[in-house]
Amino acid sequence: MEPLPPILLLTRPAPQAERFADAARDRFGAGLRIVLSPLMAAEFLGPELPVQGLRGLVFTSETGVRGLARLTDRRDLPAHCVGPATARAAAAEGFAVATTGPGDAAALADLLARNATGPLLWPRGAEAAVDIAARLDAAGVATRAATVYRQARRAPSPEAEAALAGAAPVILPLFSARSAALAADAWPARQAPLFVAAISPAVAAAAAALAPDRLIRADRPDAQAMLAAVAALLAAATSG
């Protein structure tokens, strides 16, 4: 009996999930079955922004870029961005100088601690794996934080529920520790074989709660490395 074709399950917020789905179709072909089931959705907030005397911005997510852009017309401050997708989002919103960082928040904080001059503003989400402001303040780079969005929890889609209850292997790329925790809460039990691609060691540790049949950690914290990890898992899932 031939193995069932695997399912790629994407649980990121909708804009990022749709972009990754397009990239997966480009790489693996239109025949790959993809199920989108965002477990989070951004809700934007309206805090007072501490903008006086700023020397730059620190963006650790595309949503942070959009959240700040809704609150101010200022585009003159240099934007220090965690990775290429966030830098592209900053450029699209009109920030004149958007530099690309090393790909994860902790490494960006270390880089800025060595090279940046404060005060900086960090437009953040309500939950963050790394407290950029605390790290930079401790390193002597004054950094203010403004919570410009929160990621509200969303229920799994019926298609995702059916996938996890079925017999076909499910490939689950995870891009944050919170995504891993939400997935573990959403599917405390499952029937389907589960193959997880984790973007970082922290995400891999959080994904242990899912008890995956196989877990691969991406070589780098970016979309291309995650696609490579997905490719390895698809090969494993189809080899029987």
* DSSP 3-state of 88: helix
The label of the residue with tokens 């490939």 reads 171
Q: Which domains does the chain have, with CATH numbers?
A: 7-39+154-238 (3.40.50.10090), 42-152 (3.40.50.10090)
| Beta pairing class for 7-10 and 33-36 | parallel
Bridge partner list, 151: 42
> What is the band of 1 on the pLDDT scale with cuts at 50, 70, 90?
low
How many Å apart are CA 184 and CA 171, to the nearest integer?
Answer: 14
Taking a C-beta distance cutoff of 8 angstroms, is the pair 117, 142 a contact? no
Q: Is the pLDDT of residue 181 over 70?
A: yes
- Listed in sequence order, the residues at least 6 apart from 124 whose beta carbon sits closer than 8 Å to its beta carbon are 60, 64, 132, 133, 145, 146, 147, 148
pTM above 0.85, yes or no: yes
Average pLDDT of the chain, as a whole number: 94
Please say whether the beta carbons of 195 and 169 come within 8 A.
yes
pLDDT digits (tens, 9 = 90+) for 35-94: 999 999 999 999 999 888 999 999 999 999 999 999 999 999 999 999 998 999 999 999
CA distance 206 to 49: 33
**CA 70 – CA 2 distance, rounded (Å):** 51
| SS3 call for 101 | coil
Q: Map residue 110 onto helix, strand or coil.
A: helix
Cβ atoms of residues 89 and 95 within 8 Å = no
What is the predicted pLDDT for the residue at 59?
Answer: 97
Continuous H helices in 51-101: 62-69, 84-92
For residues 21-47, give the mean pLDDT.
96
For residue 109 the two structure tokens come to 């904080």
Q: Does residue 240 surpass a pLDDT of 70?
A: no
Q: Which residues of 64-76 are buried (b: 16+ CB within 10 A; e: fewer)?
A: bbbbbbebeeeee
Q: In the numeric block, which tokens belong to residue 178?
A: 């919170």
- Provide the 10 A C-beta neighbour count for residue 26: 10
Contact 59, 46 (CB under 8 A): no
Per-residue pLDDT tens for 123-176? 999 998 899 999 999 999 999 999 999 999 999 999 999 999 999 999 999 999
Which residues are within 8 A (CB) of 156 and not within 5 positions of it... i.e. 6 or more apart?
11, 37, 39, 186, 187
**What separation in angstroms does the CA of 13 have from each of 33, 85, 116, 152?**
19, 14, 31, 10
